[in-house]
């Protein structure tokens, strides 16, 4: 059985806008900027407990400026959302929860 996912959507932790862009590359940092209020922040994941087997990455995959976060378990940036907005890593199957660090208000 497979589980379809969609691209990660992140709401700005300051103004809740979904106009969030990733401004860096995974081998540097996870700095994101909000296109609405200009705040910057870094999303991180923590293990939410349990795994979801058969989760497949979305097609087409994310673009370079789409929100990106690393898996708390395997550190791959293959973290997507299921129908019910649960975060899941399609590399290791971990269920994840989203948190924010380095929040700088714009």
Residues that bind Zn ion (CB under 5 A): 12, 14-15, 17, 34, 36-37, 39, 71, 73-74, 89, 91-92, 94
Whether residue 74 contacts residue 51, with contact meaning beta carbons closer than 8 Å, is answered with no
Locate 17 and state its tokens: 């806008």
Separation CA 23–CA 102 (nearest Å)? 14
* Residue number, 24 or 73, with CB nearest to Zn ion: 73
Choose between 7 and 36: whose C-beta lies nearer to Zn ion.
Answer: 36
Rounded least distance, CB 35 to Zn ion, Å: 8
């Amino acid at each position: 059985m497979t589980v379809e996912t969609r691209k990660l959507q992140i709401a700005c932790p300051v103004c809740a806008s979904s106009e969030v862009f990733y401004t860096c590359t995974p081998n540097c940092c996870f700095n994101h900027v909000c296109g609405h209020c200009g705040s910057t922040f870094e999303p991180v994941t923590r293990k939410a407990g349990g795994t979801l087997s058969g989760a497949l990455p979305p097609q087409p995959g994310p673009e370079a400026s789409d929100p990106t976060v690393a898996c708390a378990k395997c550190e791959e940036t293959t973290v997507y959302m299921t129908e019910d907005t649960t975060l899941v890593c399609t590399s290791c199957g971990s269920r994840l929860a989203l948190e924010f660090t380095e929040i700088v208000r714009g």
